[in-house]
Structure 1
């Protein structure tokens, strides 16, 4: 097997793709823990609108170690474990703890990302591994795929981020949350405020403009870019935004419903645009 790649369920790869092993997080609704991916975005949004208790939990170090041991038994000589931002989850701490006891070397990569750009980093690393690259090269491929990646967010309310403790620098907006519709970005792995807009319509228009500007900046730097539109219980808005982006960008963005773990922290009505650059 040579080098293999592991990621977590917030990458949005389902059960795995192109040789990537996916370790799931858990979403907890009214005290009942369920594996990420088994709860639909629509069901999660409905639970949140009913003000049911929703939280998430990371994989345990034991779960990671079991996966590392299984891969080693199947012939893996080394593992590159590629995960969501350490500022948003303790998942990477669990991976690092398990790496200490792994029977084969494990390199743990903190991407500082979530969702499609995280998935892209894992897939880029997996393709590199499939070409026979060594541990250093596969790790470098994952890190390189993160450079220039963008996650831009529109949320209906900051309350879900605040409750989950994932609000980062956007905490400064809480005092005026009723008067604004914030546009946020993932910067240095942390949720940070980008712009304050007065209405949802204007916020979505700015999200479109900012996404196109940043995509163009990547192209100007000689990099191709894949755009995804993510949403939680906002299918019509997501489709409309994707259509407008396609008209400007030239390639229809993929429209994806956010997974339950990410959705639990941003809430219904969220729209996100992610940019995943190529090498």
Structure 2
């Protein structure tokens, strides 16, 4: 039986310590903060990053450096027989396409999955992939199962439109008008895309609408449920209780870290579901 390494990127919102405890691996993505290039998690804490964003820092993100990614694969292949790479959705980053091209030099020992995911669902899926590998599933079998049998849906409510404007998700004029009129957008993440699902006039209405949109699905026991947040943990715990009462399932509270927060900003709250894989 092949020994398979499971690799995610920074968009999975996982620390090195958490990844080690789970038995999975992470390739880090670069950040540019006020023109200074750093590697996510290196040289800046979550608290420092949040404060810089609140202070108006200009933040940009990039896909993993291709040279670093290839080096990571080679490093893992010294210990493992093969690598399964689960990057952020191809609809949100060029990571997937770059990785697929680079993997062609590895004689089938590196397989890249188009997850159509970001944030904590990548962690959940990585753990499922690890369990499937331990059961003897092949690289292609795991890839096909993830790409064909699972998907995530989430609704995200940002505290302000400023960061979406800075990331090019909405125009400066739309952001200025929205902030002036106190319009709160509800963003949906579905099939790997982020799009505006609805707009309401108060934050509380936005949170409740996000929950209702997310839980509108039969067989709720077939999903992992989660509430994600950036710098608003107590609020996330409050809404975790509401979601748990509605779906009668365990709900995990997970942080949004730098790579995703760079686009949504501090104060963001989201609720989502991920279809479980059965194997």
- Structure 1 length as normaliser, TM-score? 0.86
Structure 1, unpaired ranges of 5+: none
Matched with 1:8 is: 9
- Alpha carbons 2:4, 2:80 under 8 Å: kept: no
**2:262 counterpart (258, 261, 264):** 264
In 2, Cα distance between the equivalents of 1:10 and 1:203?
24
CA drift at 1:128: 0.8
In 1, Cα distance between the equivalents of 2:47 and 2:205?
25
Counting only pairs closer than 5 Å after superposition, residues 210-249 of structure 1 correspond to structure 2 as 210-214=213-217, 217-219=218-220, 224-249=222-247
- Alpha carbons 1:40, 1:260 under 8 Å: kept: no
In 1, Cα distance between the equivalents of 2:187 and 2:219?
19
Deviations 1:59-96 (A, max 9, x none): 111111111112222241x3221111122222223322
Does residue 99 (structure 1) correspond to residue 103 (structure 2)? The answer is yes
RMSD of the TM alignment (CA)? 2.5
Matched with 1:85 is: 89
In 1, Cα distance between the equivalents of 2:172 and 2:87?
24
**2:47 counterpart (42, 53, 62):** 42
Matched with 2:129 is: 125
Counting only pairs closer than 5 Å after superposition, residues 183-194 of structure 1 correspond to structure 2 as 183-194=186-197
CA drift at 1:176: 4.9
Matched with 1:114 is: 118
Greater mean deviation of Cα atoms: 259-268 or 223-232? 223-232
1:59 is paired with a residue of what secondary structure?
Answer: coil
Does residue 274 (structure 1) correspond to residue 247 (structure 2)? The answer is no
- Shift in alpha-carbon separation, 1:24–1:145, aligned structure 2, 3 A: farther
CA drift at 1:262: 0.5
